[in-house]
Amino acid sequence: MVYLQITLLITPANRPAAAGVYQQYKQAFLDTVPGAQSKQLLVRDEDVQVLHGFDTVAHAHAYLQSKLFTADVVAGLQPLLAAAPDVRIYQAV
């Protein structure tokens, strides 16, 4: 399993809108992105994380270049961000 972790600095006031973006594109991610296996929204006081599960590192990288991510998800989240996202890819061993 490969995990794409995107950490977002979003103020508490903007978190409901960010959760709406997550919900809006979650099913499309699971249904249309090659290798997509899971997607979870993790919220804590400091930040919000979106944890995506993939079958390969290549599929995780490809998603970051996809229209769904660049034109839809990023565009929806951009006005809500307090800082640039931290994007990391991990491979479970």
pLDDT at residue 7, as a whole number: 98
List, in order, residues 6 or more apart from 24 with CB less than 8 Å away: 76
- Domain extents for the chain? 2-91
CATH class of 2-91: alpha beta
> Could you read off the pLDDT of 50-88 as tens digits, one per residue?
999 999 999 999 999 999 999 999 999 999 999 999 999
pLDDT at residue 63, as a whole number: 98
pTM over 0.75: yes
Query: Where do runs of H (alpha helix) occur along 12-73?
Result: 15-32, 57-65, 67
For 3, which DSSP code?
E
List, in order, residues 6 or more apart from 8 with CB less than 8 Å away: 18, 47, 48, 49, 50, 77, 80, 81, 85
